[in-house]
A and B are shown apart, each in its own frame.
Chain A
Amino acid sequence: MNSVKLHFRRLRTCSVGLVLMLIPFGLAQRGYAQEPDPPDPTVSSKPDVHEYGVAGTVVNSVTGEPIRRAAVAISGQTEHATLTDNSGHFEFGGLAEGRVSLTVNKPGFFNDQAMPYQRITVQVGRDASPVVLRMVPAGAIVGRVTARDEEPLEGFMVRVIAKQNAGGRQMWLDRRSQAMTDENGDFRIANLPPATYYVAVDQSRETSLSQPGIPNAREQGYAQVFYLGASELSAAVPVELHAGQEVETNFVLAAEPIYQVSGVVSGQENPASALVFARQAGESSDFTQQVSTQDGQFQTKLPAGSYSVRGFTATGMLLSTAGSSVVINSDRPDVHIVLAPAESIQVVLRKESGGGTIEQVDASQGNGIPGMSLQLVPNTPSLTRSGNWWNAQSGAISNVEPGVYEVEINTVGPWWAKSVQCRNVDLLSDDLTVTAGAQMPPIEVTLRDDAATVSGTVGPAEQEEQATVLLVQPRGARNVLKAAVTGPDGRFQFQGVAPGDYVMLAFDGVDQLEYQNPEVLSPYLSSAVRISLQPHGTASVNLNRSPISR
């Protein structure tokens, strides 16, 4: 306690001595402007209201050592910035009692949520103690890519992929962290937050000769490969990167002979002007080649394997060899590829009124449901495939490839989806399976207009970090779930909520949890707030942030 008081006395002298101009200057905020706090009415006015300060140290969360020359900015009452000294120390003076926000930046450091800055709110006043801001040092993944004969491979792109949460689902996200190998085959991908990563070397962009001494010998190339030598993500070895660590991942690539492949493509009135050959490797592909067609003819070079072929027509229709493959294991001068249009699924909308009468809705005409969206989301996370959206104008979901999907439907205002069915499958709790060649029956959606609304705030009030709010109703193998992110004052709102019983919870941050996975979410449900909603009902709820166990 004593040392703290001494500290303040020193500050007061400083604040008198320094010519501190309280001229505000804006700080790069992520989105919205800061407003100064209203003066605290319980504090009696003093002759010198701005007699307090904030001081602290920025340290490396792993070593505990101070971080020098980190940029610290203060906002909330005034807006100033400084750089920490050699001991990682900073201080701001001339402040009044109240709440201020401190933001710290330094290249090569993150906060706990992998953001490149650290922000906290502190209370300024008589008993405030020095602040310690911990920043997580970044790591790097380095390595060397060579061929089997130890020759370095230059010009190969190495990428780092991590599983991240997006919209509550675990997705493979390319962190946009990539590097090209240099003339020694070396690469370095730095500034990575601690996480579990997968490292991939992209397929070669050029071919080379395979054998010495033979003029115009067969060319060879390299397919995409994951560490340690896997051709697909599911067989890849994860790399655990800890804070401040440098991990080495080396690759020895095996070249594959390249074959000359040419032929014709048919089966469609509007032929595709470009084809993409993708060699199948598990759920995705490890070698792709794009080739343009000339009068339905094409010519390309491919390594051996089983390929699916896709193309787009001029009108944007997807054509593919859905379900069947083109097998290459030698030079092939006369391949015949038959392309068929991808599946298109009709969506039929019906409105059910309070009395029970049902009328069909044509979304493309004027009586559509405003704000409604419907999406087919592939249920295995994939690097290359994204979902398919319903087009209100055409009334259909087009270009659907064979696979298993979850239906995600969102409504606003008074509307909620009472049922979403395809033949007999309840798509609100089960998946939709699209098989190759089978004509899909329409998806039938029945909507009602007596939805409830839930709004509220997430505390504590001083916490400025955004929170994720979940409204959950367990149903079958999947939960019915809506998610929202809090606004600037911790407020949130859900519209288009089906009447019924729910539980609600809130978490710190955005995308910190794979909440769409019922197994991940269930441990948190026991402490959730229960709420019951009537048709046309409104409810107001105040939630506290639940901690996420890691």
Chain B
Amino acid sequence: MLRRIVLPMLLVLAVVGRPSAQMPPANFRISGKTVNAVTGQPLARTEVAIGKTDQFDATVQKVLTGDDGGFTFTGLTAGKYLLAAQRNGFRKQGYEQHGGYVSAVVVGQGLISENLVFRLRPDAWIAGTIIDEENEPVPNATILLFRNDVSAGFRQNFRVAETNSDDRGYYRFAHLESGWYFVVVSAQPWFGSLAWAQRETGADWSAAEKALFDVVYPTTFYPGVTDSASASPIAVNEGEGFTADLTLTAVPAVRVRVRHIYSDPAQTRSATLQQRVFGIPISAPSQGESTVEDSVEIRGVPPGKYELDVQSYGPAPSTRSTVIDLTADREVDANGASAPSTIRGVIQMDGGLSLPPQAFVRLWNSHAGEMLDAQIADKGEFSFDSGFLVPGSYSVFVMNGENSIISSLSATGAKVMGQSIQVTRPTPIRLSIGLSRTLSTINGTARRNGKPFPGAMIVLVPANPETNLPLFRRDQSDSDGTFTLRDVLPGRYRIVAIEDGWDLEWANPVVFKTRLDHAESVDVQPSMTYQTAVNVE
């Protein structure tokens, strides 16, 4: 649930070291009041918590605000503290929170940490009723909530929550951030399972029965369309709600039979159907599976375009994918030639060291919203199931890399630009990726007119920003104007500080064109720490 954000997961900041006496003086304070960010009214009975950024759980202190919304913490040692609050109607949030970033409160000699105004954004909600074309409620529908926001530099849709409708077809999403959302419904008619039990005996239906019972709801988008391009985004402001009702219309179901999937008793295999919603794979709605001889039949699927994955388990797990466009009942051979993987490669850690065990390779086309992941097998080999790839520019990432970063990228069959590849025709592409751990850190202070500027968005922009998405770094300046950019790969960069840039597509070069001209420049070498100052415009 959105309510339970765990703050230590945020990308934040190092503790400022101080020249120490025997025991650090513990006579600093943090104080202020919590107010409703929309109305400005003080918030009583709000739980406010502080904790040191590097040992949050061990040092956490909490207080409940009084009627004036005020809170005071005393007896604190110097350092950087995370400040968070929550209340009925206000999800847990951090001080000056933007996305995953907050401003830490820096406490110490000569620093201001009192009379803070902690603006809490009230929760929004989206709720509604799902009915069918006969005006009857649809219980147990799965409703997915997607949020449209700037993520990793580009505006895109991503899944934030999921719930089910109750006996009246009613659903509710609470504790939402203000913004733009899409509501997507995946459901089965209640009598569908009755029809399936009949199917178990292998008998057939009359045409009249088929029309009544062998029906299914296609994945439906608010306000009631079945293609994502026509979906209407829902805007909710802080503290407000929106009622999104939907009507589902049943269509005749189709079936997919995957033949010979169980032909080898020594190998365990399974078949799943996935569909893409805003480029993100979700399970296709279906009414179940049955085994027919050595095949599996997936039933009660709405017509549409799907990816059929045949997974093999055991000592050499693998997945074969085929994209199928289902307009009628269809048979597919599990052992048939699947679309050959057109993107394969090998990845190595610089210096011959071993790869991080959980690492995997990701390709991301931010403009088309297509994202593909590939596991890394023995000897660093990986391959992508590319049935859904559209031509375009794909950034290459290595996820779970444990502080290692791509240091080199080369390819045959595709043009490499920085850390992206251009996929044009479906010719086989072979990638070679080098990983490096020789990373640097940039510490700095954001200033305006010579004074430290808290809460600014700091962006580290690499040379050739269009093709080097993985090289960007971001932070938010703390209450004393300081910031830290970590895990920086060697290269030439410019640093930009923006006062209120949280809705900007910060990885979009058009946005930055003018600002880059008078930005601070840094030439980063491997494994170094830098100190700098940046002007906030």
Contacts and interface: CB of A to CB of B under 8 A. Distances in A.
B201 A216 contact: no
A21 B63 contact: no
Interface in A18-58: 20-21, 23-28
A25 B204 contact: yes
A288 to B, nearest CB: 23
B167 A26 contact: no
Interface string A208-234: 111111111100000000000000000
B502 interface: no
B73 interface: yes
Interface stretch (B14-22, B64-72, B318-326, B411-419): B64-72
A214 B63 CA distance: 6
Contact of B206 (A21, A149, A154): A21
B264 interface: no
Interface in A61-86: 69, 71, 73, 79-83
Nearest to B125: A183
A140 B170 CA distance: 14
Given A26-B200, A80-B206, A213-B64, A208 B47 contact: yes
Contact of B194 (A20, A105, A108, A216): A105
Contacts of A81: 194-195, 198, 209, 212-213
A191 interface: yes
Give the most central of A80, A191, A209: most B CB within 10 Å: A209
A417 B205 CA distance: 55
A212 B123 contact: no
Given A82-B209, A152-B88, A154-B88, A26 B61 contact: no
Interface of chain A: mostly helix, strand, loop or mixed? loop
B159 interface: no
A182 interface: yes
Contact of A107 (B174, B190, B201, B203): B190
B172 interface: yes
Given A69-B136, A71-B194, A79-B198, A216 B203 contact: no
B224 to A, nearest CB: 20
A213 B66 contact: yes
Contact of A151 (B62, B88, B166, B206): B88
A27 B197 contact: yes
Most buried by B among A81, A108, A191: A81
A182 B174 contact: yes
A190 B168 contact: yes
A215 B73 CA distance: 7
Interface string A162-205: 00000000000000000000110000101100000000000000
Question: Looking at B65, B123, B167, B203, which has the most chain A CB atoms within 10 Å of its CB?
Answer: B167
A295 B398 CA distance: 43
B175 interface: yes
Contacts of A28: 194, 197-198, 200
B207 to A, nearest CB: 8
A81 B196 CA distance: 12
B63 A215 contact: yes
Chain A, interface size category, equals: 35 or more
A23 B207 CA distance: 11
Interface string B281-297: 00000000000000000
B77 to A, nearest CB: 15
Nearest to B205: A25
Interface string A71-109: 101000001111100000000000000000000010110
Given A152-B88, A182-B174, A83 B212 contact: yes
A183 B47 contact: no
A209 B62 contact: yes
Contact of B64 (A26, A71, A79, A212): A212
Interface string B495-518: 000000000000000000000000
Given A25-B203, A183-B174, A208-B47, A188 B198 contact: no
Nearest to A188: B166
Interface in B120-177: 123, 125, 134, 136, 139, 166-168, 172, 174-175
Interface residues of B, number: 44
Contacts of B168: 190
Contacts of A105: 191, 194
A216 B64 contact: no
B269 interface: no
> B47, B74, B208 — which one has the most chain A CB atoms within 10 A of its CB?
B208
B150 to A, nearest CB: 27
A535 B203 CA distance: 52
B178 to A, nearest CB: 16
Interface string B315-359: 000000000000000000000000000000000000000000000
A303 to B, nearest CB: 19
A23 B63 contact: no
Interface string A436-460: 0000000000000000000000000
Given A26-B201, A79-B198, A107-B167, A183 B61 contact: no
B194 A73 contact: yes
Question: In this complex, which of A20, A211, A213 has the most chain B Cβ atoms within 10 angstroms of its Cβ?
Answer: A213
A105 B189 CA distance: 13
A83 B190 CA distance: 12
A183 B205 contact: no
Interface in B340-396: none
Nearest to A214: B63
A208 B168 CA distance: 34
Contacts of B167: 107-108, 138, 140, 190-191
Nearest to B132: A69
Nearest to A86: B134
A20 B190 CA distance: 25
A154 B204 CA distance: 49
Contacts of A154: 88
B198 A25 contact: yes
Interface in B202-232: 203-206, 208-209, 212-213
A82 B66 CA distance: 63
A216 B123 contact: no
A26 B63 contact: no
Given A25-B203, A25-B204, A216 B198 contact: no
B89 interface: yes
A26 B199 CA distance: 7
B175 A183 contact: yes
B82 to A, nearest CB: 16
A183 B123 contact: yes
A212 B65 contact: yes
B45 interface: yes
Nearest to B197: A28
A83 B198 CA distance: 15
A429 B201 CA distance: 50
B44 interface: yes
Given A79-B198, A190-B166, A216 B213 contact: no
Contacts of A209: 47, 62-64
Contacts of A210: 64
A212 B66 contact: yes
A182 B127 CA distance: 12
A315 to B, nearest CB: 35
Given A25-B203, A82-B212, 15 more contacts: A20-B206, A23-B205, A25-B198, A25-B209, A26-B200, A81-B213, A183-B174, A191-B167, A209-B64, A212-B44, A212-B45, A214-B63, A215-B72, A216-B62, A217-B63
Q: Which 4 A-B residue pairs are closest in the complex by CB-CB distance? A: A26-B201, A28-B197, A25-B203, A190-B167
Interface of A: 20-21, 23-28, 69, 71, 73, 79-83, 105, 107-108, 138, 140, 149, 151-152, 154, 182-183, 188, 190-191, 208-217
30 contacts: A20-B206, A23-B203, A24-B201, A25-B198, A25-B203, A26-B197, A28-B197, A28-B198, A69-B136, A71-B191, A71-B194, A81-B195, A81-B209, A82-B208, A83-B212, A107-B190, A138-B167, A154-B88, A182-B174, A183-B123, A183-B174, A190-B168, A209-B63, A209-B64, A212-B63, A212-B64, A212-B65, A214-B63, A215-B61, A215-B63
